[in-house]
Structure 1
Amino acid sequence: MRSDLARMIYDDIGFEDITTCALIPPGLNVKGQIISKEEGIVAGVELAFEIFREFGVETEILKNDGEKIRPSQIIMEIEGDPRKILTLERTVLNLMMRMSGIATLTSEMVEMVRKVNPDVLVAGTRKTTPGLQFFEKKAIRSGGGDTHRYRLDDSILIKDNHLALVGGVTEALSRARKYASFTKKIEIEVETMEEALEAARASADIIMLDNMSSNEVTNVLTALGKEGLRDNVIIEVSGGINLDNIMQFAKTGADVISAGYITHSAKSLDLSLDLEKMY
């Protein structure tokens, strides 16, 4: 994480912040605030704290990751060298705004589904921005969602292209079971009722019902129940899920709803950094 933050900062700075170095003399001190400009769930506060601390800027956190914020609320107070603060400003705000937007959308979706299915999990996917996956997953957690896999080594997830090359659900699960440690869960993505039943009979830990309608999901769950397999497997639904249809999938009784929408369609939350007169 620290190396990722350092890369973002120095990619933005280059050799130096020539505007700030030209206008602001060294040896000054300034106070400032990071302020919300709209309602939402804040995220990225801990990371902003780490960045400022690394550069010797003092901070006081007034709103923690995952807390609700309203317009004009102060999230963090800062004090230190204005040359450092101005140089870090855009990187800190971009990260916080992006993460807060994801946390806000996640929270909205979680609140919606819990009204009809209190136990369902809302999860992200690996459809994240390259280089930002750790931060975007952290934002999902701040919004009350589940991160799903961070990386490929977290668990086994057999997808459609794996199945196309291996030749079938049962064979893929058998190979995965032989290769994986007992500590790793094995998930498989299926697109039909027949594949879902085959996966459950072959003892998959998690079955992802991909791009099925809510009615199709309900039918799969009913069929699993009739065979006495429903309680043996975690059912995840995924594919094209958004604010308009997530309630339909929550009502099916699925255990997990995963949505790339959380990251690829989240709107950044508007935040600002305001500085007071130097002294």
Structure 2
Amino acid sequence: MRHDLTKMMKMIYDDVGFEDITTNALIPPGLHVKGQIIAKETGLVAGVELAVDIFAEFKVETKILKHDGEEIQPGQIIMEIAGDPRNILSLERTVLNLMMRMIGIATLTAKMVEMAKNVNPNVIVAGTRKTTPGLQFFEKNAIRSGGGDTHRYRLDDCILIKDNHLALVGDVAEAVSRAKKYASFTKKIEIEVETLEETLQAAKAGADIIMLDNMTPKEVINVLSVLENEKIRDNIIMEVSGGINLDNIVQFAKTGVDVISTGYITHSAKSLDLSLELQDMH
């Protein structure tokens, strides 16, 4: 968290520039104010710990009333704050924007997790790398707050062989073989496939995770059935991805796949509205 918080501080200072000219023109130094961050919509909390860390950097005191992963309703107080109003006003928009974004992701993730697990209790709903550059750490943690799996945070988390890798290597088995020779035993090897033939090649080559990309639920069921019949299903994590959203996640969960990964929970999440209200200035 510390490395990413340092980057976040730089973004805040870049936003302020030499000074918050409006706040400094209107608010004299040396004052103390109390305030609250209030939910304006129903959702699932995320980003509270990040907000606490940001406020702490500017000596603003905080009291958490709703923790990450807890439900909120309109009008409920998520956090109480107290400190120099100049600092609070300079941070207000950045903190709210981050929390609103993270709460939106957590809320959508929780909805999709619930839908999938209602028909397949063991399925994992995961994010993808379709995140906002510079904010991926926070967006991934919002997925976790919503009950989802973060998948890869970065490219060094695991090997994931995708279609363009295969286009250059030219062969599924060769790609997996090269990955096995290069990777540490601590890193899983995942490969993205688009056909039953590629799936069988990947399974026989020893891939740890096979991602079925852009297949229909019917095609996924067929692939899983063939792997079962070939008796090569047991030690492989089967993942499905590509175009998965609120309209079709239940159908994919019903296939019996192990993991459903979707960029929808980040690239299509709607930010939930929050407000920061100040009072008791003295």
TM range (shorter): over 0.9
- Hey, what does 1:219 align to over in structure 2? 222
Q: Residue type of the partner of 2:158?
A: S
- Hey, what does 2:192 align to over in structure 1? 189
Question: Which of 80, 83, 86 is matched with 1:83 structurally?
Answer: 86
- Hey, what does 1:22 align to over in structure 2? 25
The share of aligned pairs that are identical, in percent, is 77
- Hey, what does 2:128 align to over in structure 1? 125
Gaps in structure 1 of 5+ consecutive residues: none
Kept in 2: contact 1:218–1:252 (CA 8 A): yes
Matches within 5 A, 1:86-97: 86-97=89-100
Question: Which of 59, 65, 68 is matched with 1:65 structurally?
Answer: 68
Structure 2 distance, partners of 1:52, 1:167, is: 51
- Secondary structure of the structure 1 residue equivalent to 2:82: strand
- Secondary structure of the structure 2 residue equivalent to 1:100: helix
1:162 counterpart = 2:165:
yes
Q: TM-score, normalised by structure 1?
A: 0.99
State the shift of 1:277 in Å.
3.5
| CA displacement, residues 149-192 of structure 1 (integer Å, 9 cap, x when unaligned) | 01111000000000010011000000000000011000000000
- Hey, what does 2:210 align to over in structure 1? 207
- Hey, what does 1:34 align to over in structure 2? 37
What's the Cα RMSD here?
0.6
Structure 2 distance, partners of 1:61, 1:5, is: 21
Q: TM-score, normalised by structure 2?
A: 0.98
Runs of 4 or more consecutive aligned structure 1 residues displaced over 4 Å after TM superposition: none
State the shift of 1:60 in Å.
0.3
State the shift of 1:42 in Å.
0.9
Structure 2 distance, partners of 1:35, 1:12, is: 23
Gaps in structure 2 of 5+ consecutive residues: none
Structure 2 distance, partners of 1:229, 1:249, is: 21
- Secondary structure of the structure 1 residue equivalent to 2:31: coil
- Hey, what does 2:56 align to over in structure 1? 53
- Hey, what does 2:259 align to over in structure 1? 256
Structure 2 distance, partners of 1:34, 1:98, is: 15
Kept in 2: contact 1:156–1:176 (CA 8 A): yes
| CA displacement, residues 208-259 of structure 1 (integer Å, 9 cap, x when unaligned) | 0000000000000000000101112000000000000000000000000000
- Hey, what does 1:114 align to over in structure 2? 117
Structure 1 distance, partners of 2:218, 2:168, is: 29
Q: Residue type of the partner of 1:58?
A: E
State the shift of 1:8 in Å.
2.1
- Secondary structure of the structure 2 residue equivalent to 1:115: helix
Structure 2 distance, partners of 1:234, 1:7, is: 40
State the shift of 1:4 in Å.
1.8
